[in-house]
A and B are shown apart, each in its own frame.
Chain A
Amino acid sequence: MPETFDASARKFHQLVSVALLAAGYVVGPMGAWLVALVGVVFLLGRFWWPADIFRQLAWRALEPARILPRRDVVEDHATRRIARVLGGAGFLLAAVLVAIGQSVAGWIIVGGLAVMIFLDGAFDY
């Protein structure tokens, strides 16, 4: 049988990430911390599920409270895991760039990654 995954938690994770990145951009240089947080959640959460605090929020609070309905679907997670590591590394690099004053380069990286995550989370592209 093909392996299924909780798509609701995955989408919640993606949309919270995009919201934090957008908030990070709006608040300015201090937003580098939010970008770094998303990067750490992406990278650590890839190898250790408890570190994925966005998914944990979905699994432990929103889904049990029926605020977020769980939806198990067949997904190719091998590709997603690679993308997640690349994305996490990109966010950490972007956070460093913003922190050292290379804001334009940093936010371009964040913007490109955020758009891809949003398209995947909202439209399954």
Chain B
Amino acid sequence: MIERAFIVGAVLAATLVVALGARAGARWRVAQVLGQPVPAVLRRRLSRTRPNLVYFFGPHCGTCAQQKTVLDELDSEGAAHIIALDATQERALADRLGALTIPATAFLDRSGRLAKVNLGYQPRSVLIAQMESMLAG
């Protein structure tokens, strides 16, 4: 029984190390890309009047559909300019912008540099707060 308890502890410890390592790696990657200019292919699609929000989705991602509902609202209200990209088709761009998961959202500042990257679903309130903070800064 003690041997089995030790095995459970070892598996738990290994799982924790891998999970925390992966999370730290994702944060490090996002920190690396913040402030970087986006590629020209993306810069051509930017709005000059509204905050630009790049949205990475996947074709079979259920949470992406829910994220899209929120983003469509922001777009139709004129609060943000949404640039939706299929991460499975735009892998290089997703990697360049630090979008390591889907859904992912990335705000660009007025000069077309990455200002904020969100990994995973973000509710409307969070996105609006980020936009306001970006516009204030």
Q: Which residues of A contact B (CB under 8 A)?
A: 1-3, 22, 25-28, 73-79, 111, 115, 118-119, 122-125
* Complex alpha-carbon distance, A14 and B52, angstroms: 38
Q: How many residues of chain B are within 8 Å of chain A by beta carbon?
A: 22
Interchain CB contact under 8 A, B62 and A22: no
Q: Which of B19, B62, B63, B67 contacts A123 (CB 8 A)?
A: B19
Do A2 and B69 touch (CB < 8 A)? yes
**Cβ-defined contact, A26 with B5, below 8 A:** yes
**Is B4 within 8 A of A74, CB to CB?**
no
Q: Is the interface of B mostly helix, strand, loop or mixed?
A: helix
> Are A122's CB and B19's CB within 8 A?
yes
Are B1 and A74 within 8 A (Cβ)? no
Q: How far is the CA of A21 from the CA of B63 in the complex (A)?
A: 29
Whether B23 contacts A26 by the Cβ 8 Å rule is no
Q: Does B37 contact A (CB under 8 A)?
A: no
* CB within 8 Å for A76 and B66 given contacts A22-B8, A28-B4, A115-B11: yes
Q: Which residues of B contact A2 (CB under 8 A)?
A: 66-67, 69-70
Bound together, the chains give a CA A78 to CA B11 distance in angstroms of 29
- Whole-angstrom distance between the Cβ of B40 and the nearest chain A Cβ: 34
Residues of A within 8 A of B120 (CB): 124
Asked if B89 lies at the interface with its beta carbon under 8 angstroms from chain A, I say no
Say yes or no: A76 contacts B62, CB within 8 Å: yes
